[in-house]
Amino acid sequence: MTESSSQQIELHGHPVTYHRMGKGPAVLLVHGITSSSRTWREVMPALAERHTVIAPDLLGHGRSAKPRGDYSLGAYASGLRDLLVALEIPRATVVGHSLGGGVAMQFAYQFPERVERLALVDSGGLGSEVSLVLRAATLPGAEYVLPLMVSSPLRGATAAVGSVLGRLGLHANADVKGMAEGFESFRDADARRAFVHTARSVIDPAGQRVDATDRLYLAAHVPSLIVWGDKDRMIPVKHAYEAHENMPGSRLEIFEGAGHFPFNDDPERFVALLLDFLATTKPAAFDDDLVRQLMLRHRS
């Protein structure tokens, strides 16, 4: 990803940074908690050879604004809708990683007419289990502990950050690469506050408290791809198998040996997989009657 692809737009009085590359059918890449659009830098150029690729920094992340406000999945989904409207992109294939997967599912639920396909990558929102690191962030006083994680001697020391992440059970190399950026962002007080508010909106000390599994049947009319690293220590791979079972017609791809960031472990395979998914499936055609029938069929 080059700096020249970075752009900024103001939405509701808040600057939102995003990267836009390529031409063709739109693909919206949604990053995870503490991350930013930079998380996609290894795969975005190749995807942009055939598609218009949009990768925003969600509010509270990266170079976007970090206001005091709503950091719920619904608010993030509405922000993505507003960005697509502003960019005159009516529909897109939505790819969400980690928290971004939960946002992607919420987006598909709130704005189904804007979703052509759905891809979930080591996604949140598919079960209660989540790493101790994120559960700890919801405890009282977490915002006062976070600065210690990037204070001297850890400040600016990627190797040291990697060591900390390793001790917390994260997969070496690729996960360290993916998470180190987030740890560095904790230097900023506004970013720390946004992180804590975001974490608490979806997680409590017992685990994830936002669960989309009771509505996954609604994905029957949307081509869906589930990608997971089988060594993920943040969100267990069993969520992938359970989601696949509950999402009719979904495609499941497990990256053996990969952790929470499979697109960092093997970016070429990830790009090839996503391009094949895009090329071999037809965009969803939103049908209100079909959604109504599905919901009535699944009444308790």
Contact 222, 118 (CB under 8 A): yes
Mean pLDDT, the chain, rounded, equals 87
Q: What tokens does 105 get?
A: 């599912």
Q: Which one is predicted more confidently, 50 or 142? A: 50
Range 265-294 burial, b when 16+ CB lie within 10 A, else e: bbbeebbebbbebbeebeebebeeeeeeeb
User: pLDDT digit string (tens) for 208-252?
Assistant: 999 999 889 888 889 999 999 999 999 999 999 999 999 989 999
Question: From CA 294, how far away is CA 288, in angstroms rounded?
Answer: 10
Taking 80 as the threshold, does the pLDDT of residue 1 lie above it?
no
Q: How confident is the model at residue 291 (pLDDT cuts 50, 70, 90)?
A: confident
CB neighbours of residue 298 within 10 Å: 11
Question: From CA 263, how far away is CA 269, in angstroms rounded?
Answer: 8
Taking 80 as the threshold, does the pLDDT of residue 157 lie above it?
no
* Minimum mean pLDDT range among 23-27, 94-98, 160-164, 191-195: 160-164
Give the catalytic positions in this structure. Answer: 98, 232, 260
What 3-state DSSP class applies to 152?
coil
Question: From CA 189, how far away is CA 218, in angstroms rounded?
Answer: 39
Taking 90 as the threshold, does the pLDDT of residue 286 lie above it?
no
**pTM score:** 0.88
What is the per-residue pLDDT for 2?
A: 47
104 backbone dihedrals φ, ψ, rounded to 5°:
-60, -45
DSSP codes of every residue in 1-14: --GGGEEEEEETTE
Question: From CA 191, how far away is CA 195, in angstroms rounded?
Answer: 6
Average pLDDT over residues 15-21: 97
Q: How confident is the model at residue 126 (pLDDT cuts 50, 70, 90)?
A: very high
Q: Give all domains of the chain, ordered by start, each with its CATH number.
A: 3-129+208-297 (3.40.50.1820)
Q: Is 161 left (phi over 0), alpha (psi -120 to 50) or beta?
A: alpha
Q: How confident is the model at residue 146 (pLDDT cuts 50, 70, 90)?
A: low
What is the per-residue pLDDT for 185?
A: 67
DSSP codes of every residue in 221-283: GS-EEEEEETT-SSS-THHHHHHHHHSTT-EEEEETT--S-HHHH-HHHHHHHHHHHHHHSPP
- CA distance readout (Å), 17 to 5, 9, 62, 79, 177: 10, 7, 8, 12, 21
Q: Which one is predicted more confidently, 269 or 145? A: 269
Average pLDDT over residues 47-67: 96
What 3-state DSSP class applies to 97?
strand
What is the per-residue pLDDT for 154?
A: 41
What is the per-residue pLDDT for 134?
A: 85
Nearest to 227, CA basis, from 183, 203, 258: 258
Taking 60 as the threshold, does the pLDDT of residue 76 lie above it?
yes
Question: From CA 276, how far away is CA 288, in angstroms rounded?
Answer: 28
* Minimum mean pLDDT range among 11-15, 120-124, 143-147, 163-167: 163-167
